[in-house]
């Protein structure tokens, strides 16, 4: 039994029983070992959950990184969609992911940030937009998976419309993108005014 086997079986257990019911006792029984044997690979349940969260993100972590010729708007939308799809692959995927630290993905995050900045998005705005989009996506999936749980839609009045989660997600994501576009337009406008001011000063200096 190696670390990868433990994580794989832990994720399979997650899909069967949900996050609240995942325990080292149940996992040990599933693996056919004594509970203390798991501590060789993971000192605490928190360490195990962190490894599960990292492994569960593999589809998103393996998605192609943006290249210079890509349109930053289309890439930004697809990056968030990829995160959503990945979180939905696992039962309670959003709850498992929430609060995890992407230590192993820092190089990918830096690449994505550099792509946005090179594409014209102001650095601070790019950072905040990526953070907002990530948290927005996790929050949307949390709600979606909660509704999908047994009894998730009980108690709602008959005249309350059923939410189309994908459509709602896309609508919110578009609003985030529009905000980014306004930041880019504002930065371009400021840069144009600065350039015009420099040109005016240079012209006056040449005429003196």
Question: Would you say the pTM of this structure is higher than 0.75?
Answer: yes
User: Is it the case that residue 198 has pLDDT exceeding 50?
Assistant: no
Express each pLDDT in 86-136 by its tens digit.
999 999 999 999 988 776 688 999 999 999 999 999 999 999 999 999 999
Q: What is the CA radius of gyration of the chain?
A: 23
Q: From CA 49, how far away is CA 44, in angstroms rounded?
A: 9
Query: Which residue shows structure tokens 């047994």?
Result: 150
* pLDDT at 195 (0 to 100): 40
Residue ranges in 89-164 assigned as alpha helix (H): 93-97, 106-118, 123-148
* pLDDT at 70 (0 to 100): 97
User: Is it the case that residue 175 has pLDDT exceeding 80?
Assistant: yes
Asked whether 50 and 11 are in contact (CB, 8 A), the reply is no
Express each pLDDT in 50-91 by its tens digit.
999 999 999 999 999 999 999 999 999 999 999 999 999 999
Asked whether 104 and 55 are in contact (CB, 8 A), the reply is no
192 band by pLDDT with thresholds 50, 70 and 90: very low
Closest to 136 measured CA to CA, from 103, 109, 176, 97: 176
Q: Cα–chain-centroid distance for residue 6?
A: 25
User: Is it the case that residue 11 has pLDDT exceeding 70?
Assistant: yes
* pLDDT at 125 (0 to 100): 95
* Structure-block tokens of residue 208: 């003196």
């Amino acid at each position: 039994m190696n670390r990868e086997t433990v994580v794989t079986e832990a994720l399979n257990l997650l899909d069967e029983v949900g996050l609240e019911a995942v325990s080292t006792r149940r996992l040990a029984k599933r693996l056919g070992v004594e509970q203390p044997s798991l501590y060789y690979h993971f000192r605490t349940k928190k360490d195990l959950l962190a490894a599960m969260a990292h492994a569960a993100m593999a589809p998103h972590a393996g998605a192609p990184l943006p290249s210079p010729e890509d349109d930053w708007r289309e890439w930004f939308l697809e990056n968030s969609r990829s995160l959503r799809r990945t979180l939905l692959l696992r039962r309670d995927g959003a709850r498992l992911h929430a609060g995890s630290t992407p230590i192993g993905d820092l190089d990918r995050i830096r690449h994505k940030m550099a792509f946005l900045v090179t594409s014209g998005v102001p650095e601070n705005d790019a950072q905040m937009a990526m953070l907002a989009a990530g948290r927005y996506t996790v929050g949307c999936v949390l709600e979606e998976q909660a509704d999908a749980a047994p009894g998730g839609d009980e108690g709602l009045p008959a005249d309350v419309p059923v939410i189309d989660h994908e459509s709602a997600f896309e609508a919110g994501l578009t609003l985030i993108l529009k905000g980014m576009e306004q930041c880019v337009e504002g930065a371009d406008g400021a840069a144009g005014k600065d350039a015009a001011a420099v040109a005016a000063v240079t012209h006056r200096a040449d005429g003196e």
